Amino acid sequence: MKVSFSVISVSLARLKLIFGRKNSSRFLLSRNLAFSSLSVLEDDNAALENLLYADDCPSPSAQCNVAEDTEHNEFSSGEPIFPDVIDKVSLIFKNQKVDDDMNVIKSVLKNRGWNVGYENGFQVDLDEFNIIQILNDLFEETLDAALALYFFRWSEYYIGSEHTIRSVCKMIHILVSGNMNHRAVDLVVHIVRSNIKEVFHNLVLKILYETHTKREVLEIVYNMLVDCYIKENMVNVALEIKCKMKQLNLFPTIKLCNSLLKALLGSQKLELAWELVEEMMTQGISLNVYIISLFIAAYSKGNVESAWKLLLEMKRFGIYPDVVAYTIVVDCLCKMYCLERATSILFKMTQLGISLDSVIISSVVDGYCKVGKLERAITILKYFNLTPNVFVYNSLMSNSRLVEVAFLFNEMHELGFLPDCVNYTTIIGSYCKVGDIRKAFQYLGKMLKSGVKPSVVTFTLLIDTYCKCGDMEMANSLFHKMLTESLEPDVITYNALIDGYGKKGQLHKAFEVLSTMRSGGVSPDVVTYNILIHSLVKRGFVNEAKYLFDELLRRGFSPDVVTFTNVIDGLSKQGNFEEAFFVWFYMSEQHMKPDVVSCSALLNGYCRARRMEEAYALFLKMLDVGLNPDLILFNTLIHGFCSVGCMDDASSLVSMMVRQGILPNTATHRAFVFGFEKKWVKNPEESAAFKLQEILLTHGIHVDVDEFIASIEHPIS
């Protein structure tokens, strides 16, 4: 990748145009491809047939080279190109203007040597050649592209088949010549969308060239074709056509070059974009702040340093960055949470005399708000004397505490701002977060009363809160209210409902929601499966949970630690340790480091089953994969050894625990008491305390027995 600043100063002079290096693709042999039908309603057939007449005298005609292939080579979208005209064509044919157009067409054709005879005696074959010839004659005689277009549409109806691509290309040239570019674009778009074969554009280029009469018209048509391919996201084809234009000494407009540049940068084809800039400069198009800003935006997506260097290098070439160019970099830095650097750029801009607008200041304010630095955000606002707008208030409220959110919301009202959906959703979410559903509902009422329509996020926050409160009836009512408001629930909404029903043990309802979710076109995600698996495990449906886990894998999802932990926990509680261990091992194979919770789930199962040898082997394996056991995991294993009377093994674990800086607690003491009771030791509580004190002393921790027992029984909070 070229470094942006060096490209401007040095590399632009050295770049070899790849367009110039490529051999132009050979045009395909012309074949008649049928154009999609522009058929009209079969009203007033007599009026149609009276358009042209001929007697036995020969009319101007010639054998078309490509006529033989027209019947079998079609490209069609099945949609009319001019639906606004065609839908009402039966009415149009009855109107006086149509009759006038017909008379003009007949008159022109007579003057150009076409034989227009008696009524119903028309025998001329409207093949491709004759249609093109008539289109030429009509436009040359009248300079009226609309009249030619009328014949173009009518002739397709009359012959009962689609126009060939050559006829369409001729019509495009006539429309451009007659300043009907919007209709020409319609035809170009239809050609492109009707056939997406890789080589099709070569055929279109060839026929457009063969049917043109003026170079300036051909240049406009080729520009239309390139623009169409850009808009269809076929940038490579657009580039190839532009290359062939250059070979014909035809050039794209500045507007088209900018569009192509944006498309290349949007797809991160930076090398090709710089080559296009070089070519633009050879055509006399000067670099400007707009073009460089496009590159700055592209580099900002992956390399903000290059973007910043490019911005700084602009001045060396007489191009001074404007506030838009700076905003691109500042916004990128804010999204990367490089807020101090973004702020320093604001000060640098003021020193350079560049006026800051609300957009760039709001970006920095939003950045500070997102990291919870509300005071710093307000300082920026005050320093640059920016009056908060609705967007700024949204930023200030986004990560604030409830009290601050409520204050800011009221301040908006006092300053005359009308809160939008985001403002209302933020304050509703703040009340939902603290469980004040009544207050949240009050603000929903205010929102509706002020005419602001709630969003999917608004409803989802309320639904989730009611689900957590166990009020599934109200949650379900809000869900149906969403549907009546034509809002489509997303996966988060469905997950909230599924979780609510799962926690209440209403698994049939949870799976009903899952079914509704799928029928609504919303695919379940990993969170959905986690909720269902956890709910099934909790209710003892371990086999069903395992089935869902397998389905998760079949659908190509990547289970997370929560998924594995739920399945391991369920299988362990069921006593299926082999499969639980297999799932744990599979988790490790997926380069997903098991956490303490997932390991505790499996260890707990082994310990409850008194399979301590396997439990300890698993524990050592966990240490090998880099697990840092916590107090809960140590106590699980210690309790397991104590329950089978292996006090020496339990003591070794306490010693390992202390070496890692983790001190025993009440649970550790109770485990030792339980172990000594199993061994019928007198005064098991004192014995447990003495044993733990002894272990602590070996590690240099001196405590009195009585104090130690007291500290265990009454830990300092």
Residue 49 has pLDDT above 60, yes or no: no
3-state secondary structure of 370: helix
Residue 311 has pLDDT above 80, yes or no: yes
Which residue type, as a one-letter code, is found at position 205? Answer: L
Those residues with Cβ within 8 angstroms of residue 648's Cβ, 6 or more apart along the chain or in another chain: none
> What's the rounded Cα separation, in Å, for the pair 153 and 102?
13
Query: Residue 64's pLDDT is what?
Result: 33
Q: Return the percentage of the chain with pLDDT > 90, whole number.
A: 34
**Residue range 251-272: mean pLDDT, rounded:** 90
CB 278 within 8 A of CB 20: no
**Residue range 45-74: mean pLDDT, rounded:** 35
Instruction: Specify the higher pLDDT residue, 420 or 22.
Output: 420
> What's the rounded Cα separation, in Å, for the pair 335 and 691?
55
Number of Cα atoms under 13 Å in the Cβ half of residue 658: 19
**Residue range 37-41: mean pLDDT, rounded:** 33
Query: Residue 124's pLDDT is what?
Result: 60
Query: Residue 468's pLDDT is what?
Result: 92
Query: Residue 340's pLDDT is what?
Result: 94
Cα 440 from chain centroid (whole Å): 31
> What's the rounded Cα separation, in Å, for the pair 11 and 593?
47
Among 126-140, 153-167, 350-364, the range scoring the smallest mean pLDDT is 153-167
Beta carbons within 10 angstroms of residue 436's beta carbon: 14
Instruction: Name the phi and psi angles at 74, rounded to 5.
Output: -115, 145
> What's the rounded Cα separation, in Å, for the pair 573 and 245?
72
pLDDT digits (tens, 9 = 90+) for 526-552: 899 989 988 988 888 888 888 888 888
First to last CA, the chain: 58
> What's the rounded Cα separation, in Å, for the pair 574 and 384?
64
pLDDT digits (tens, 9 = 90+) for 151-182: 888 888 777 777 888 999 999 999 999 999 99
Query: Residue 100's pLDDT is what?
Result: 72
Query: Residue 60's pLDDT is what?
Result: 36
Those residues with Cβ within 8 angstroms of residue 73's Cβ, 6 or more apart along the chain or in another chain: 31, 32, 33, 34
Residue 591 has pLDDT above 90, yes or no: no
Residue 31 has pLDDT above 70, yes or no: no
Q: Which residue in 317, 219, 226 sits closest to 13, CA to CA? A: 317
pLDDT digits (tens, 9 = 90+) for 374-421: 889 989 999 999 888 888 888 888 877 888 888 888 888 888 888 899
Q: Tokens 């010639």, residue?
A: 62
Q: Tokens 């380069």, residue?
A: 591
Here the contacts of 71-76 (C-beta below 8 Å, separation 24 or greater) are 71/34, 71/161, 73/31, 73/32, 73/33, 73/34, 74/33, 74/34, 74/162, 75/33, 75/34, 75/35, 75/36, 75/165, 75/191, 75/194, 75/195, 75/200, 76/34, 76/35, 76/36, 76/37, 76/162, 76/194
Output the six-digit token pair for 716.
């300092």
Query: Residue 319's pLDDT is what?
Result: 87
3-state secondary structure of 627: coil
Instruction: Specify the higher pLDDT residue, 635 or 200.
Output: 635
Among 31-40, 82-91, 297-306, 706-715, the range scoring the smallest mean pLDDT is 31-40
The single-letter DSSP state of residue 74 is: B
Instruction: Name the phi and psi angles at 421, rounded to 5.
Output: -60, -40
pLDDT digits (tens, 9 = 90+) for 674-697: 988 887 878 888 888 888 888 888
Those residues with Cβ within 8 angstroms of residue 193's Cβ, 6 or more apart along the chain or in another chain: 77, 232
> What's the rounded Cα separation, in Å, for the pair 53 and 35?
26
Residue 53 has pLDDT above 60, yes or no: no
Query: Residue 194's pLDDT is what?
Result: 80
Handedness of CA 75, 77, 81, 86 (dihedral sign): positive
Among 22-31, 70-79, 374-383, 649-658, the range scoring the smallest mean pLDDT is 22-31
pLDDT digits (tens, 9 = 90+) for 476-515: 999 999 999 999 999 999 999 999 999 999 999 999 999 9
DSSP 470-520: T-HHHHHHHHHHHHHTT----HHHHHHHHHHHHHTT-HHHHHHHHHHHHHT
Domain boundaries, the chain: 28-185, 214-284, 287-386
> What's the rounded Cα separation, in Å, for the pair 43 and 336?
65
Residue 326 has pLDDT above 50, yes or no: yes
Q: What mean pLDDT value characterizes the chain?
A: 80
Those residues with Cβ within 8 angstroms of residue 46's Cβ, 6 or more apart along the chain or in another chain: none
Q: Tokens 């069609």, residue?
A: 76
Query: Residue 198's pLDDT is what?
Result: 57
Which residue type, as a one-letter code, is found at position 652? Answer: S
DSSP 157-186: HHHTSPPBHHHHHHHHHHHHHTT-HHHHHH
With b meaning 16 or more CB within 10 Å and e meaning fewer, what string describes 333-363?
bbeeebbeebbebbeebeeeebebeeebbbb
